[in-house]
């Protein structure tokens, strides 16, 4: 058997890293080398001649490998548990969200009291401009804002409070609908399926996902992609758990919405049940776009925004959704899963979701080098 030392492995990783350093952080570099060392030692332990007594060094190596095995053993059960217990984080405490609303008889002056401008909200909460403008104005459109901003800004987490207030408002009977144009209520022929605020509508012979308020009026269309559904649900404070029942209805109707169903040969589509349970809801890992740098301006920003969204919401990236999710250590039959075995483990290990592909590329090249050296 031909092997290479840990030092040689580190040199190989370093050589590869030199060509990828623009986006790799120092803590991730250290983690890559740790994985590489554990992989080498695990391979050495697995291929040891049967019956050969282990030396103290070998025992130490096996200890390192066993530590890595906490990440590298089959994590399906752990991920299933994490997904089954997942709940949309913006709903935590939402049962008290009505305390963030004004009464129906509150006049316009009262309703505007305490509402900050975008700059003030950003300074008070640390939110970026996109988040501030969405929460303050975007989710309201031309509707009347009955959210109590004095109560929202006094909350421990004003961003969370604003989202919960938005959800409570649009599920209430408050007179928020604008008198200028009002809201549009789809009829029974247009509503093919509905669960809570989510509806699958046929509008002008085109079908798609829409967000409705508690009065049945359209709030906005939702682009049919996992991150767009999550982002819209979060911003409007809606319960994505309702998507499970919507999926059941769409299945009964024979609607093609799952990945691979909408267009032959395409992975477009969303697994609504998986998304409702905290999964990626897609046939691919939408937190990573290896071609982003080759696309139009804004593609890399979108990639980064999706990665931040997944981290914020604790989305579980299960094995098999993407080549970037895991690698096979074929010599020992284990999988090193870079997403972790719980919603926040990847973040806890210091791996931003957008950098997982880069780490995966380094480890894949290391594995090739190991294979060619034998």
Burial class (CB in 10 A: 0-12, 13-18, 19+), 219: buried
Per-residue burial over 225-251, b if 16 or more Cβ lie within 10 Å, else e, is bbbbbbbbbbbbbbbbbbbebbbeebe
* pLDDT in the model for residue 105: 95
CA nearest to 95, candidates 278, 273, 239: 239
Q: Are 363 and 32 in contact (CB under 8 A)?
A: yes
Confidence at 365, pLDDT banded by 50, 70, 90? low
The answer to whether residue 60 scores a pLDDT higher than 50 is no
**Ranges 226-240, 254-268, 331-345, 359-373: which has the least confidence:** 331-345
* pLDDT in the model for residue 126: 95
Q: Hey, which bits of the chain come out as E strands?
A: 191-195, 198-203, 206-212, 218-222, 326-329, 334-337
Q: What is the pLDDT of residues 136-195, one digit of tens each?
A: 999 999 999 999 999 999 999 999 999 999 999 999 999 998 776 567 899 999 999 999
Q: Cα–Cα distances in Å, from 190 out to 83, 207, 217, 269?
A: 33, 9, 12, 21
* pLDDT in the model for residue 329: 26
Confidence at 321, pLDDT banded by 50, 70, 90? very low
Q: Mean pLDDT over residues 34-50, rounded? A: 47
* pLDDT in the model for residue 217: 94
Query: Of all residues in the chain, what percent carry a pLDDT higher than 90?
Result: 51
* pLDDT in the model for residue 185: 92
What's the sign of the alpha-carbon dihedral 305, 307, 311, 316? positive
Q: What is the pLDDT of residues 287-310, one digit of tens each?
A: 988 888 888 888 999 999 999 999
Q: What is the pLDDT of residues 259-287, one digit of tens each?
A: 988 777 788 899 999 999 999 999 889 99
pTM, whole model, 2 decimals?
A: 0.65
Q: Mean pLDDT over residues 328-351, rounded? A: 36
CA nearest to 287, candidates 268, 315, 266: 315
Instruction: Read off the DSSP letter of residue 335.
Output: E
Q: What is the 3-state composition of the chain as percent helix, strand, coil, each rounded to the nearest 5?
A: 50, 10, 40
Residues belonging to the chain: 374
CA–CA separation, 338 and 360 (whole Å): 8
CA–CA separation, 333 and 46 (whole Å): 10
DSSP 3-state assignment of 197?
coil
CA nearest to 256, candidates 269, 275, 242, 273: 269
Q: Mean pLDDT over residues 29-40, rounded? A: 49
Mean pLDDT of the residues in the chain: 75
Q: How many CB atoms lie within 10 A of CB 259?
A: 18
Confidence at 8, pLDDT banded by 50, 70, 90? very low
The answer to whether residue 37 scores a pLDDT higher than 70 is no
* pLDDT in the model for residue 339: 38
Which of 224 and 58 is assigned the larger pLDDT? Answer: 224
The answer to whether residue 208 scores a pLDDT higher than 70 is yes
């Amino acid at each position: 058997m031909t092997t290479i030392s840990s030092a040689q492995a580190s040199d190989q990783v370093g050589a590869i890293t030199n060509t990828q350093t623009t986006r790799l952080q120092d803590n991730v570099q250290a983690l890559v080398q740790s994985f590489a060392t554990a992989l080498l030692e695990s391979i050495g332990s697995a291929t040891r001649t049967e019956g050969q007594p282990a030396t103290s060094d070998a025992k130490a190596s096996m200890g390192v490998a066993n530590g890595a095995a906490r990440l590298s053993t089959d994590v399906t059960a752990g991920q299933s548990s994490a997904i089954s217990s997942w709940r949309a984080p913006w709903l935590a405490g939402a049962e008290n969200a009505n305390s963030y609303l004004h009464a129906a008889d509150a006049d316009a002056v009262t309703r505007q009291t305490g509402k900050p401008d975008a700059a003030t909200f950003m300074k008070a909460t640390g939110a970026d401009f996109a988040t501030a403008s969405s929460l303050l104005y975007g989710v309201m459109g031309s509707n009347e804002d009955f959210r109590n901003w004095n109560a929202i800004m006094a909350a421990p987490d004003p961003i969370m409070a604003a989202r919960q207030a938005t959800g409570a408002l649009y599920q209430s009977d408050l007179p928020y609908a604008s008198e200028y144009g009002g809201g549009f209520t789809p009829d029974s022929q247009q509503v093919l399926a509905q669960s809570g605020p989510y509806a699958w509508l046929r509008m002008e012979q085109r079908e798609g996902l829409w967000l409705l308020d508690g009065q049945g009026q359209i709030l906005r269309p939702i682009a049919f992609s996992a991150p767009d559904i999550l982002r819209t649900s979060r911003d409007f404070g809606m319960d994505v758990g309702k998507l499970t029942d919507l999926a059941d209805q769409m299945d009964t109707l024979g609607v093609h919405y799952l990945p691979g169903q909408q267009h032959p040969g395409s992975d477009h589509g969303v697994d609504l049940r998986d998304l409702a349970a905290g999964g990626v809801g897609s046939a691919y890992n939408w937190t990573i776009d290896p071609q982003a740098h080759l696309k139009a301006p804004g593609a890399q920003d979108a990639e980064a925004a999706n990665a931040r969204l997944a981290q914020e919401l604790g989305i579980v990236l299960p094995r098999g959704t993407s080549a970037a999710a895991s690698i096979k250590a074929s010599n020992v039959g284990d999988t090193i899963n870079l997403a972790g075995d719980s919603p926040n483990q990847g973040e806890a290990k210091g791996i931003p979701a957008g950098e997982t592909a880069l780490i995966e590329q380094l480890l894949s090249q290391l594995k090739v080098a190991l294979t060619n050296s034998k």
